[in-house]
Amino acid sequence: MRTLKMTIAYRGTNYHGFQRQPNAATVQGELEQQLARVLNGPVTAYGCSRTDTGVHANMFVLHLHTEREIRCKNLVRALNGYLPDDISVLDCEDAPAEFHARFDCKGKEYLYRIHNHESKNPFLTDLAFHYRRPLDIEKIRYAAEQVTGMHDFHSFCAQATPESNCVRTIYGTSVEREGSDVAIRIRGDGFLYNMVRIFVGTLLDINEGVFAPDAMSEILAAKDRLAAGRTAMAHGLYLNRVFYSDAECRAPMK
């Protein structure tokens, strides 16, 4: 039995996230359907993460098991021939039998794309959040940096209970502008439900003066979702990178 490690990318607009759901289109469901077609039998794809409805992935890692001896290169070509245009297999390789896409993952990096202009960009519909207000990049960059390190992120989780373990380590953040496009990135050892979207929404609230630029520490200390800001729209969010080594995960963000 072979264990294959596969890397895919997808546009999440038409899907209710990655994980298979009854009576809903998902990336896992579509991928498994085409895997079964190519490998001549049912296949389960084990993903590195879940993603919400409408969220995209520039890099998503999964693993699967098969007894077929098909070359990885041929498997990639066959799958991409059958998959819809909004899902692409980027790479496939044989992995150790014990490899697990989720449990072996050391960390992830998320990207949030904002189109910061008075007018919408029709080529970025469902691919970036259209934000009309002027963005003070230095202000939100300063605020974003305050979450670096190990913290309890109860305030940034949509489904946390008092008993939930919400301690996570953030290795770095970045906020960069290129013309009308703003990219917010955050890298850490793990993320909670809606954590990145609440983080970005809080940055937007800081930009608008709802919170002070140095309010992040108080928001974290509150351990209360109501202490943080809005939840940013899903369609601006991307799972950007997945890391399987501590060194790569902790490397300085460029």
Known catalytic residues are 52
Distance CA 64, CA 69 (A): 13
Q: Phi, psi (5° rounding) for residue 214?
A: -100, 25
Q: How far is CA 176 from CA 26, 209, 224, 235, in A?
A: 31, 20, 29, 19
Distance CA 29, CA 19 (A): 8
**Contact predicate 113/182, CB 8 Å:** yes
* CA R_g for the chain: 19
Distance CA 119, CA 126 (A): 15
